[in-house]
């Protein structure tokens, strides 16, 4: 039996988020610039390498795998990878296989994802207004995403909507989004915008809409009951008594979740980030590709990386300067 992955602060690491591509068919303004240079193919882990990497993490005690990107469903042949991961669900080592997607390809893939054992998906949608959607995603069309959501629900996938809270953009949709999600039996989570990447044309401080303000406004209309439930992640949840729906708040800017952090993130090039808000990373691609010392080398590299997991991160908007700003894009670490 393998000893589980425990970091220096006694947190068990049992959740791996994996970015399978840095590419995307959208260009959301807070995530990417319009003219992105993507990585050459040889830099990416192949599907077979992704399989070996994830399987090693599962062997070391990872029970939850979230596939993300970029847009995970634009990676060619990605269903091969999902199909292959199903074996870990079947033998009970993996408890959950899930993904975060912009929804654009779900019409095509929802049924197959369900067959691979996926039961829940997070779909990112910041607005239900067609024009605003086109503006925020630059290249997206909302009709495609709405068809994707329909397909996901028809396939039997439970859908959660993730919306980035953006000042002056979707403040006016606070109630309409909640009601739309509720009418479709979907939970939703609001995410505070994070200072990721140098996007050139967007002023991050202008976009920042604090979730405490969002919550206060929500409470002015609805009765909110705090839920104890923690997903081991950064979300805090409330239940809207009037509709029964769950609303989550992800506030990465406040240090309210680092102490219970159970996750690490793997980039599509095989770098392991132990914390979303720190630059420290460990390259796992080299030990993965180097077969000389066999499987043990990758396992040792993962264990050594976990020993470096920091206590927490250090974003801070409080001095009206974006301290702790990350130079890499969210699409690189996979959000």
Residues that bind ligand SAM (CB under 6 A): 24, 30-31, 68-69, 71, 100-102, 124, 162, 164, 191, 193-194, 196, 330-331, 334-335
CB of 92 to ligand SAM, least distance (A): 27
Tell me how far apart the alpha carbons of residues 87 and 81 are, in angstroms, rounded to a whole number: 11
Residue 124 or 189 with smaller CB distance to ligand SF4: 124
User: Rounded to whole angstroms, what are the CA distances from 161 to 12, 87, 126, 255?
Assistant: 28, 28, 9, 23
With CB cut-offs between 5 and 8 Å by kind, which of ligand SAM, ligand SF4, none does residue 265 bind?
Answer: none
The interface with ligand SF4 within residues 72-131 (CB under 6 A) comprises 102, 124
Tokens of 125: 């949608």
DSSP string, 75-139: STTHHHHHHHHHHHHHTTS-SEEEEEE-STTHHHHHHHHHHTT--EEEEE-S-S-HHHHHHHHSS
- Both tokens assigned to 226: 């705090």
As measured in angstroms, the least distance from the Cβ of 19 to ligand SF4 is: 9
Of the candidate residues 5, 20, 31, 247, the single one contacting ligand SF4 (CB under 6 A): 31
The Cα–Cα gap between 109 and 72 comes to 11
**Footprint on residues 50-79 left by ligand SF4 (CB under 6 A):** 69-71
In the list ligand SF4, ligand SAM, none, the entry touching 182 (Cβ below 5 to 8 angstroms by class) is none
CB under 6 A: which stretch of 25-33, 48-56, 76-84, 212-220 binds ligand SF4?
A: 25-33
Locate 257 and state its tokens.
Answer: 């979740």
| Residue 32 sits in the site that holds ligand SF4 (CB under 6 A) | yes
Burial class (CB in 10 A: 0-12, 13-18, 19+), 324: middle
Q: Which of ligand SF4, ligand SAM, none sits in contact with 248, Cβ below 5 to 8 A by type?
A: none
Residue 162, contacted partner among ligand SF4, ligand SAM, none, CB below 5-8 A by kind:
ligand SAM
Find all residues with CB under 8 Å of 146, minimum gap 6, and list them. Answer: none
User: 185: which residues sit within 8 A by CB, 6+ positions away?
Assistant: none
90 within 8 A of 44, measured Cβ to Cβ = no
- Picked from ligand SF4, ligand SAM, none, the partner binding residue 159 (CB below 5 to 8 A depending on kind) is none
> Which is it for strands 158-165 and 187-192: parallel, antiparallel or unpaired?
parallel
Residue nearest to ligand SAM (CB): 335
Structure tokens at 215: 């919550």
Q: Which option in ligand SAM, ligand SF4, none does residue 21 bind, with CB closer than 5 to 8 A by kind?
A: none
When asked if residue 195 is in the footprint of ligand SF4 (CB under 6 A), the reply is no
Count other C-beta atoms under 10 Å from residue 237's C-beta: 18
Binding partner of residue 207 among ligand SAM, ligand SF4, none, CB cut-off 5 to 8 Å per kind: none
26 belongs to the binding site for ligand SF4 (CB under 6 A): yes
Residues contributing to the site for ligand SF4 (CB under 6 A): 24, 26-28, 31-32, 69-71, 102, 124, 331
């Amino acid at each position: 039996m393998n000893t589980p992955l425990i970091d220096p602060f006694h947190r068990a690491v049992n959740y791996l988020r994996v970015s399978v591509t840095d590419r995307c068919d959208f260009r959301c303004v807070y995530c990417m610039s319009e003219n992105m240079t993507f990585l050459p193919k040889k830099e990416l882990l192949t599907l077979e390498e992704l399989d070996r990497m994830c399987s090693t993490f599962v062997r070391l005690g990872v029970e939850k795998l979230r596939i993300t990107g970029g847009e995970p469903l634009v990676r060619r042949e990605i269903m091969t990878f999902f199909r292959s991961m199903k074996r870990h669900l079947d033998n009970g080592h993996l408890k959950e296989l899930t993904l975060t997607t912009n929804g654009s390809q779900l019409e095509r893939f929802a049924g197959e994802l369900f067959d691979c054992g996926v039961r829940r998906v997070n779909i990112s949608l910041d607005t239900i207004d067609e024009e605003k959607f086109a503006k925020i995603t630059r290249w997206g069309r909302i009709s495609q995403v709405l068809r994707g959501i329909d397909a996901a629900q028809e396939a039997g996938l439970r859908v959660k909507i993730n919306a980035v809270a953006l000042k002056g953009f979707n403040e006016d949709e606070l109630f309409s989004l909640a009601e739309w999600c509720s009418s479709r039996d979907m939970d939703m989570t609001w995410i505070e915008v994070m200072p990721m990447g140098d996007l050139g044309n967007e002023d991050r401080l202008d976009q920042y809409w604090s979730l405490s303000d969002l919550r206060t406004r929500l409470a002015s209309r609805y009765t909110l009951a705090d839920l104890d439930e923690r997903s081991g992640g950064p979300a805090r949840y409330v239940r809207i008594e009037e509709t029964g729906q769950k609303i989550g708040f992800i506030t990465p800017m406040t240090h309210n979740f680092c102490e219970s952090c159970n996750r690490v993130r793997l980039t599509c090039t095989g770098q392991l980030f132990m914390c979303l808000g720190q630059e420290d990373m460990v390259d796992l691609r080299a030990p993965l590709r180097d077969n000389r010392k066999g499987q043990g080398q990758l396992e040792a590299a993962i264990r050594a990386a976990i020993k470096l997991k920091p206590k927490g991160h250090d974003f801070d908007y409080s001095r009206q300067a974006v301290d702790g700003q990350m130079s890499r894009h969210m699409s690189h670490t996979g959000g």
